[in-house]
Amino acid sequence: MKERFYALDGLRGVCALAVVVFHMDWLDSVTGLDFFRGSFLFVEFFFVLSGFVLAHRFQVKDASCFSHFMKARFFRLYPLHIAMFALVVLYQFIHMFVNSVYGLNFGIEPFTAKYAVDEIIPHLLLIQSWSSSFNSVSFNGSSWSISIEFYMYALLFFSIVTFRAHQVLSWIVISLVAFGFLFTKLGFIPSEVLRGLSCFFGGAFFYTVYLTVSKVSLSYKTASFLELVLLVTIIAAIQFKHDYRSIVVSALFMLAVLLLAFESGFFSELLMKKSMQTLGVLSYSVYLTHGVLLLYFRAMLTIWDEYIAIEMMPVIDGVRYMNFGSTVANNLGVLLILVLSVLLSRYTHKYIELTGQRLGAQLSWSQPKHSKVS
């Protein structure tokens, strides 16, 4: 049985970069293409992949006790989450200083709206996406999905312990019910929660499908053809705007995870290249740091706007764009942000993520002998 799915690791890195482009607004650039305007949907892929990989982990390692499992998840996610929160808070104080001394406004007033003081506790506890009483994109907006994912781990463990022999049935039921709520647009459960439940448990279910069909042998040509067809379909579905786009794309992501897990075709081979694997390793850092990077970058452009003839932060139809003055320059700006995101992530992964994981491994917490999953 495989220890890792390397093609899926590589794809996670590519999807993280697509989300970065979605959060950029460069005037007259590729960021305005329909594909990138819909690339926020790659968060659904992260949920699907997490469910798939966690189900695999429990299959391979027989599921450690709950406290040990959640401790590992905590030290995997929290150090970078806290670090980015601290940088956003620092940004608020910088904004206050620049506004009071130089009269410059970077946008949202410091410590108001999504940066309000009463959003701090929900954000730190990663519960901001679980109630409509909180702002799901408070402070570091990317953390909304981490808020969902962190507690999905606990729900998956709970389903394994509670339903045991019927755990697979519970996964498909949870996924289908959540999709049903999304389809009917019932509003009493936050959509962020439904997106997480539907995709995460759908991914876990598709891992059991993979176990059933994993012995099927796909030739290189057949696998390459199927991967190409699925890739083209996903790209088309992301660009096609309709009310149920997220549901369709989520289903396609489940098929993509299932197919790429075979690692038999051209695109799987490409995703397993060293550069793609490196990007996959950095994907969590890329995802969680890029919003903060853009926050500071936009502030810098706002300052430069006062001294340069080019209008570097124009507002068009209510959207504040970044602008270097021409289509070519703005597309180079897109590339610049992507490069800076990867470079920054190399450091945050090494000095924050890995340090946090080592700290978690060093802590000795007692593990009850009878808390293991059978």
DSSP letter for each residue of 284-340: HHHHHHHHHHHHHHHHHHHHHTTTSSS-SS-EETTEE-B--SSHHHHHHHHHHHHHH
pLDDT digits (tens, 9 = 90+) for 276-331: 999 999 999 999 999 999 999 999 999 999 899 899 999 999 999 999 999 999 99
Look at 373 and 362; give whichever has higher pLDDT: 362
Beta bridge partners of 57: none
Distance of alpha carbon 105 from alpha carbon 102, whole angstroms: 9
Asked if 223 and 272 touch (Cβ cutoff 8 Å), the reply is: no
Closest CA to 208 of 58, 360, 9: 58
Average pLDDT over residues 136-160: 95
Give me the residue spans of the domains in the chain. 6-362
Q: pLDDT band at residue 67, thresholds of 50, 70 and 90?
A: confident
For the chain, percent of residues with pLDDT exceeding 70: 95
pLDDT at 366: 45
Residues in the chain: 374
Whether 25 has a pLDDT exceeding 80, the answer reads: yes
Between CA 172 and CA 343 the distance in angstroms is 39
CA distance 255 to 98: 50
Mean pLDDT of 185-200: 93
* DSSP code at position 350: I
Of 85, 14, 73, which is closest to residue 291 (Cα–Cα)?
A: 85
> How many angstroms separate the CA atoms of 15 and 231, rounded?
13
Residue 363: per-residue pLDDT = 83
Q: What is the mean pLDDT of residues 25-54?
A: 97
Question: Could you read off the pLDDT of 174-184 as tens digits, one per residue?
Answer: 999 999 999 99
pLDDT digits (tens, 9 = 90+) for 149-170: 999 999 998 898 888 889 999 9
**Residue 373 pLDDT > 80:** no
Mean predicted confidence (pLDDT) in 25-36: 97
Would you state the pLDDT for residue 61? 64
The answer to whether the beta carbons of residues 146 and 77 sit under 8 Å apart is: yes
The answer on pLDDT for 374 being more than 50 is no
371 pLDDT higher than 60? no
Q: Is 60 exceeded by the pLDDT of residue 46? A: yes
Q: What is the mean pLDDT of the chain?
A: 93
- Write the single-letter amino acid at 21: V
Separation between Cα atoms, residue 83 and residue 139, nearest integer Å? 12
Any bridge partners for residue 264, and if so which?
Answer: none
Confidence of residue 364 (pLDDT cuts 50, 70, 90): low
pLDDT of residue 56: 92
Q: Give per-residue pLDDT as tens, 212-262.
A: 999 999 999 999 999 999 999 999 999 998 889 999 999 999 999 999 999
**Of 244, 234, 235, 168, which is closest to residue 204 (Cα–Cα)?**
168
pLDDT at 368: 47
Residue 108's region, left for phi above 0, alpha for psi from -120 to 50, else beta, is beta
Backbone angles phi, psi at 4, to 5 degrees: -140, 160
On the question of pLDDT at 62 being above 80, the answer is no
User: From the centroid of its chain, how far is CA 93?
Assistant: 27
Digit-coded pLDDT (tens) for 327-361: 999 999 999 999 999 999 999 999 999 999 999 98
